[in-house]
Amino acid sequence: MDADDLIARVRELVAEGDRLGAAAAMQRGIAAAPDGATRLHLEAYGHSFLLAVSDGRGADIGEVRAALAALDEPDALALDPELRERLRLELRLSIAALERDERAHDELVVAAARLVPQHPRALTTAVRAVNNRLMLQLDRLEDEGIGPGQQAHVDAALAIGQARGLAAVLGGRGRIDRRAVIAAVEMGEGERAWRWTLEALDREMSSSERVGLEGLGAQIAWERGDAEAAVRLGEQAKAHAQGRSTDWTRSLGALGGVVAAAHGVGSMSAALRAYRRSASREAHRMLPTRGHTVAAIALESGADRDEVEAMLVGCYGERAGWESPWRAFFDANAAPGSWRTDGVLDAWCEDAGPAWRRAAAIRLRALWRLRQGDHALAARDVALGLRHVARWPGRRRVALERLLDQVRPVRSITASQSAVLELVVQGLTDREIAALLDRSSRTVESHVRALLRAYGAPNRVALAVAASSEAMLGR
């Protein structure tokens, strides 16, 4: 098998989720390289492969730079000039990804696109450049806490659209469709994710890719509250995964079966067992988000806690070995109103992560705060959650909206006090409020004291925050 054939096979294995098989194939290929030029070719691609399957964990930028420099050494002169240029681009992409350099990625997207018309094999490099640029933008926005409803979120949506559009121009449909759908899901762009899923499923694609999109589409439809589509796609994913040889494909088919069972089509117990058996434990551990998402769907659909936990133990081993946030998420889902106070799950409410997961965690925290009698913080959580799912119609938004009446405490506030409160929220002093409302400062002070009691707020700042949270809830 020559270098290009081996790399094509490695890409297939990565696409099918067989990362261990891909890694083994790469190692065997490098070890068996017949000459220095072939070894350089495979080692250069190996750095791209490592980034693709590990999100940069374990990558050494020094080694990548050394590989780039090696392309100017005598052994590399035996390589085809076009191939050398393509490998340069691949290695520069790896360096830009490790350095999170957006400007370098912009330049590399253009350079790769210009190379494709003369050298069609460079198409995979161009698609990688587009994907990298897209994911880097989304990572940065998530790091900055930018979510749906905020101005820069529009930029994220544009980035997804631009990436997809550029891939279409290049002719590289392939995996870019699924990557774009996943990015839209993570940013909370529900309608966009759903539209792209349906568009993608209308096109020709590999059977593995179809199962992936059907499983992902079933989950999106479930989140949207579209039972008919969820069942249809779930059953299709389940059927099309039958007889597949890869863990990646079978697990997505089993996810579809769980979604269908969540809507009463088939047994949830059987669906959970099928998911557990769909992949080896080693493979499940490489896909922790998927298994715990299955658990969340099952629990939110009323599945038995012990059966769901047995499924997770079968996938990942005993509870103690689960990642701490996922363990806390499972417990909070299994017993709504409970919450770990060590902060491990609070990070999911406040920090970066998929919009649906943040909204789910925020709702669970709001339920716990209601049980604690803290309506003000519960109200703040509901407002935050609704912002995260502002562009995602469906069960997350509905679940949060159902909490609205519970988190709105009954307050006896007069019309005069309400007028004062509006100006307190704007940060005005008592004297400024008195002048605007043509009232005495003493009257305003009296109203503010009454408002502090009504809201249970210790000071004006806390009063303004509590009132603003209720305003965001539509009071």
- Round to whole Å and give the CA distance between 334 and 304: 9
| pLDDT bracket for residue 474 (50, 70, 90) | very low
Fold of 415-472: Arc Repressor Mutant, subunit A (1.10.10)
Percent of the chain beyond pLDDT 70?
82
Backbone angles phi, psi at 126, to 5 degrees: -65, -45
User: Per-residue b/e over 149-179, b at no fewer than 16 CB within 10 Å?
Assistant: eeeebeebbebbbebbebbeebebbbbbbbb
Q: How does pLDDT run across 352-379, given as a tens digit for each residue?
A: 567 778 888 999 999 999 888 888 788 8
Q: Encode pLDDT of 378-428 as tens digits.
A: 888 888 888 778 777 788 888 888 888 777 665 678 888 888 988 888 888
Most confident of 83-87, 213-217, 390-394, 467-471: 213-217
- Residue recorded with tokens 């499983």: 215
pLDDT digits (tens, 9 = 90+) for 93-109: 888 888 878 778 778 87
* pLDDT, tens digit, 9 for 90 and up, residues 123-151: 777 777 777 776 676 566 555 554 444 44
**Higher-confidence position of 318 and 168:** 318
The better pLDDT of the pair 192, 233 is held by: 233
The percent of the chain in helix, strand and coil, each rounded to the nearest 5, is 75, 0, 25
- Greatest mean pLDDT among 62-76, 78-92, 133-147, 249-263 lies in 249-263
Q: Look at residue 233 and tell me whether its pLDDT is greater than 90.
A: yes
Give the pLDDT band of residue 331 (cuts 50, 70, 90).
very high
Is residue 466 pLDDT above 50, yes or no?
yes
Residue 58 has what pLDDT?
A: 54
pLDDT at 365: 94
Q: Quick check: 473 pLDDT over 50? A: no
The closest alpha carbon to 83, from 92, 71, 65, belongs to 71
Most confident stretch, 75-79, 221-225, 380-384, 460-464: 221-225
Read off the pLDDT band of 57 (50, 70, 90). low
Selection from 72-86, 97-111, 307-321 with the highest mean pLDDT: 307-321
Four-point Cα dihedral 406, 407, 411, 416, nearest 10 = -130
Dihedral (C-alpha) 452, 455, 459, 463: value to the nearest 10 degrees? Answer: -110
Cα dist from 474 to 266, 403, 405, whole Å: 40, 13, 11
Provide the residue ranges of all domains of the chain, joining segments of one domain with +. 346-407, 415-472
Tokens standing for residue 417: 């006090």
Chain-centroid distance of CA 203 in Å reads 24
Residue 396: C-alpha distances to residues 67, 185, 354 (Å): 47, 13, 13
Left if phi > 0, otherwise alpha if psi is -120 to 50, otherwise beta: which for 24? Answer: alpha
Query: What's the confidence (pLDDT) of residue 255?
Result: 95
Q: How far, in Å, CA of 88 to CA of 94, rounded?
A: 10
Mean pLDDT of 168-193: 61
